[in-house]
Structure 1
């Protein structure tokens, strides 16, 4: 650590001031703060107040106040250097020699420039009807625009330079904070956030330390952030915490979402307890910061491949630093849905029910372990035991690790106690499914299931699917209903069509869900398309065989036909395709 401010900020990120002061004082809870008898003057009634949110203390009796550094210096009568060393030892960080005066002045300058820049961005947005209309189309309320100080950065740099010059900041200052960038080709200057909606990022003192920006054109990079510097580290901050902190405390709830607009969209839907990581994977520091405010944050990432992968990666980082009483929960959104999509489709009340039914980390991990294995042979069951050990070894707190091992082993034992040894379905399930080897026309069922759960990726194959005649007349009828609905509902999203189909075919809902789980849940879109292509060939097999047999008959009856070389070539091609399909396993 190189400066007093950095050490104090690190302390506030990793520890609570009240827990630190409890070494020296007898603190009592009082609402959102703590009180104690002041150690700096004699009193009978407690007037010494501690705020964990601000990282500050104040005595209403004698007027003493400050941060952790001020307390240590006065209470223990230490020099500045000794006080910083004491704090570093408490949070487990090294302290290095450094003259931090110049750095502290530079940080103050960056914060002042950021405020001026943000005022310019807000003015630019208020005068840009196109971007205001874009936000209105996204159902972003004016109150949310004001609450989060949303702005807009135009591509031209001259208006920004001219505005900042009024406050004594010039191009070199804007280059220093990273708002302007110098081209490596011709040394010309351009705006880092040009043609982007801007989102100021605050620290816990409500100072702007950086910006996020979302593209308004077709840029391949949707979101960017300020460059990292002395005061801005992407892995430390949480967007929306400053604006939503009071609601988070009042409702005893915090929702971690993926991006800036997720936080703002939820706010526009009157859900005011969300925060977001700053465009990066969630870091340990951000998890610790969440835990400073709430023991069990709820994670609600998008229901796409990237969102599910991010949730899985997050579990690894959380497991490492789990402590007694600290954890996270998860919401699984429908496929290709973000929080805003869900609320628009199902309403705020439905989203709130998802929050109430969020999945504990331990249950989420068990489902991940279980779903890795399609068939529960003795060898795979042994792999589950191995997975449980690997997961528990990631947890540094041995007490928590021991409880996780006990929990996951019990989940495994309970699961297999309720499983049929032949087909691996629950014995007490009245809607028990057949073993798939016993189901006739499995290819037809898989094709119907993909149509139900991933209709949009099937558009290129709809004509081929429509031309097929299924052996199962009931499935043929379902196929025709589904294709007609897909063609007439191009504006609906995958998850909306899925919900419609599952309601419509409720009697076979479990079958279709099981087919998805066993055959294509973990496939990406290209792999699903390849699977469909192979299934179509399988289903076309009877027609190909009939065509080959008819061709063979024609060749035998017309042995002297002058087109025999052509017929032979066609026959061999059909035969090769038939043999290829027969060898393929779906």
Structure 2
């Protein structure tokens, strides 16, 4: 059911989860004092600077500044959106996610895409029904000729789009069909079915929802394939075909094979190779890579060996460079010219095909083989061209060991070890420690007060007892302090993790995360007293500021009776 996730549920979820257990299931942690540490999963480092605090239910990296609660970790580590992270966290603790029903006033507009997902599922089911009835026989004959069994067709929910021009419009809502990209609008009004007389391949996102379709003709007519257009729920640059089906049987596959077409994925699954996916008639993108690397550290690009296949492989490799953090691997498998995965696996057999996958060229082999193609490295000009061709790609590599080795390989091939263009381009040195952690200067009362209140939301009762004169308070950070106080007073978060969730998306979120892990060097038993003292100092500053204002006014123009009484009370309280 569509709708917002209740705030109470999110708070309860953050109370249920132990962030140490969650992160340890993804990144092994080691206990050091009151914290748990590891090498940061978000940047390359040789010694641990990633710290997780069980009491605070918060993580912070002193190297790159990554920080947050359990939801933030899943969003950053697994590249999830907020809703997906909440759903994953709920699954981790074994609870289901409720939804609030949303009442939409009559006449109001609404961007909720829930109905589109429902429609796409219904249309996919309709196409699957058509495959086994009526005109679907010729589609079944085609699939049988391609060696696709009924079990595989069912697993991938293959279907058939009838020949009629208005088959869908007569069964489903016209406006919704148009919004979902299933109808093509005509200039004079109305529309017609986008897919007709084709085998249908539902494209499902990683959560199993149908977001689009691929469609193939049953003969040699053109275009051979049609894809759904971009819609509110479908973007070709962000989805791959076959990922949902892969994850049903291999939640953490050893490798993922990236092929060119829908039928390649289905045909390989028929032979037991169920770890193949395909991009959707578009070049492989960085978004594709990051999506796939979430589930496997090794990707193998399998493309035809003709000119078009080689160009597709090069474009895929280009998209990969910014994603190649240490621990990730990419290989390139170019098939013999005239072969595709389906024909090759039938001709050579599964064992030989899998040996070809295992022996595919590494990205470094493929890259340097391609960039030095047609260059004479015996000449200075050839070596200079090699550096020029390579450098723009190597600069995209994330800092780490692989980047260092790629530069060393380039230096070896070029024969130049002291080129200015290569100096200081790659380094294994750590990102400087965040200043917030190493600042040895005396912290201001405001910084101490805000940090302690964020780290210990229960201190709000001390603020209420002090009865701060907000109008007279005047110090850097006053607005942030007031924002923290107001949020805690209105929401009563039970721990820091819940408090952080209240700041998600606010302008102050970044600085709040920094202050949450600020070491104010106060022992636990002295926190309340230190916080109370910080408030007293802020109050004292406010009194002095107000006294100064009143004295200046008295000197310039005199004070009213009420102002003289206020000044007298302030002077007495000094």
The match for 1:148 among 122, 134, 156 is 156
**Superposition pairs for residues 50-199 of structure 1, below 5 Å?**
55=85, 56-58=88-90, 103-104=110-111, 106-127=112-133, 128-162=136-170, 164=171, 169-184=172-187, 186-187=188-189, 189-199=191-201
TM-score normalised to structure 2 length = 0.55
Higher helix share: 1
Are the equivalent residues in 1 in contact too, given 2:252–2:296 (CA < 8 A)? no
Relative to structure 1, the CA distance from residue 326 to residue 31 in structure 2 (aligned partners, 3 Å threshold; closer, same or farther) is closer
SS in 2 for 1:199: strand
Are the equivalent residues in 1 in contact too, given 2:215–2:225 (CA < 8 A)? yes
Relative to structure 1, the CA distance from residue 258 to residue 26 in structure 2 (aligned partners, 3 Å threshold; closer, same or farther) is closer
**Distance (Å, rounded) in 1 between the aligned partners of 2:24 and 2:165:** 54
SS in 1 for 2:192: strand
**Distance (Å, rounded) in 1 between the aligned partners of 2:233 and 2:180:** 10
Once the two structures are TM-superposed, the CA of residue 287 in structure 1 deviates from its matched residue by 0.4
Relative to structure 1, the CA distance from residue 392 to residue 112 in structure 2 (aligned partners, 3 Å threshold; closer, same or farther) is same
**Distance (Å, rounded) in 2 between the aligned partners of 1:389 and 1:212:** 38
Once the two structures are TM-superposed, the CA of residue 377 in structure 1 deviates from its matched residue by 3.5
Once the two structures are TM-superposed, the CA of residue 38 in structure 1 deviates from its matched residue by 12
Are the equivalent residues in 2 in contact too, given 1:322–1:397 (CA < 8 A)? no
**Distance (Å, rounded) in 1 between the aligned partners of 2:162 and 2:22:** 54
**Distance (Å, rounded) in 2 between the aligned partners of 1:328 and 1:400:** 12
Once the two structures are TM-superposed, the CA of residue 413 in structure 1 deviates from its matched residue by 5.7
**Superposition pairs for residues 19-34 of structure 1, below 5 Å?**
27-29=23-25
Once the two structures are TM-superposed, the CA of residue 311 in structure 1 deviates from its matched residue by 0.7
Q: Determine whether 1:319 maps to 2:321.
A: yes
Count the aligned residue pairs: 352
Deviations 1:335-386 (A, max 9, x none): 1211111112111111010111121111111111232326844432332233
**Distance (Å, rounded) in 1 between the aligned partners of 2:257 and 2:222:** 28
**Distance (Å, rounded) in 2 between the aligned partners of 1:312 and 1:335:** 16
The residue aligned with 2:405 is 403
Once the two structures are TM-superposed, the CA of residue 159 in structure 1 deviates from its matched residue by 3.8
Once the two structures are TM-superposed, the CA of residue 231 in structure 1 deviates from its matched residue by 1.2
Are the equivalent residues in 2 in contact too, given 1:212–1:225 (CA < 8 A)? yes
**Distance (Å, rounded) in 2 between the aligned partners of 1:353 and 1:59:** 37
Deviations 1:8-49 (A, max 9, x none): xxxxxxxxxx9xx997766333899xxx9998999xxxxx99
**Distance (Å, rounded) in 1 between the aligned partners of 2:18 and 2:410:** 36
The residue aligned with 2:290 is 288
**Distance (Å, rounded) in 2 between the aligned partners of 1:40 and 1:143:** 50
Q: Determine whether 1:271 maps to 2:273.
A: yes
The residue aligned with 1:331 is 333
Relative to structure 1, the CA distance from residue 23 to residue 187 in structure 2 (aligned partners, 3 Å threshold; closer, same or farther) is same
The residue aligned with 1:245 is 247
**Distance (Å, rounded) in 2 between the aligned partners of 1:29 and 1:257:** 31
- 5+ unaligned residues in a row in structure 1: which ranges? 6-17, 43-47, 71-100, 415-586
**Distance (Å, rounded) in 2 between the aligned partners of 1:59 and 1:334:** 45
Relative to structure 1, the CA distance from residue 126 to residue 65 in structure 2 (aligned partners, 3 Å threshold; closer, same or farther) is closer
**Distance (Å, rounded) in 2 between the aligned partners of 1:22 and 1:305:** 53
RMSD: 4.0
**Distance (Å, rounded) in 2 between the aligned partners of 1:358 and 1:382:** 29
**Distance (Å, rounded) in 1 between the aligned partners of 2:194 and 2:402:** 45
Are the equivalent residues in 1 in contact too, given 2:322–2:397 (CA < 8 A)? yes
Relative to structure 1, the CA distance from residue 111 to residue 259 in structure 2 (aligned partners, 3 Å threshold; closer, same or farther) is same
Are the equivalent residues in 1 in contact too, given 2:213–2:227 (CA < 8 A)? yes
**Distance (Å, rounded) in 2 between the aligned partners of 1:4 and 1:278:** 31
| Larger deviation, residues 109-118 vs 213-222 | 213-222
**Which structure exhibits the higher relative contact order, with contacts defined as CA atoms closer than 8 Å and separated by 6 or more residues?**
2
**Distance (Å, rounded) in 2 between the aligned partners of 1:143 and 1:336:** 29
Once the two structures are TM-superposed, the CA of residue 255 in structure 1 deviates from its matched residue by 0.5
Once the two structures are TM-superposed, the CA of residue 205 in structure 1 deviates from its matched residue by 1.9
